[in-house]
Structure 1
Amino acid sequence: MTLSVECPTCQAPVTWDASFPDRPFCSHRCRLIDLGAWASEEHVIPGNDQEQDVFSEDLPPQ
C-alpha cells in the first residue's frame, strides 16, 4: 500500500516514497514557496503573550 498526500503548497498528489525526495511537497519549487511564507511570517506558530514580554525593551530584565 502506497501512501499518497497532497502537496501543502499546490495540493498536487504526492506519493510518500523515494520518487518524491521533497515530500510532503511535490517539488523543490513548492518547498521554497513554503519556506518563503515562513520567512515572511505568513505562517506562524502561535505563542502566548508572555513570550513577547521577554523581549520588550520597556520591561526590566526577568
Structure 2
Amino acid sequence: MTHKFKIGQRVRRAQASATDARLGFGLVSEIVRLMPDDPTGEPSYRIRSGAAERAVRESEIVAEA
C-alpha cells in the first residue's frame, strides 16, 4: 500500500489510551519515518511527541486539522 501521511506531517492518535495521554501521544505528534507495511499490508509510521517515539499503524492516526 501507499503511505497516506508524509514525513514531517502533524498527526494525532485516533483513540488515545490513558498511557498514550500520560506519554504525550494523545496530543499532536509528528511523522518521523515511514515504515514498511505490517503483515496485514497496512502502512506503518514512527511518530514523535516531545522526546517519546513510537510505531503506529496508519489506521491509528489522523491528520491534525
Shorter-chain TM band: under 0.3
Larger radius of gyration: 1
> What is the TM-score of this pair, normalised by structure 1?
0.22
More helix by share: 1
> What is the TM-score of this pair, normalised by structure 2?
0.22
More strand by share: 2
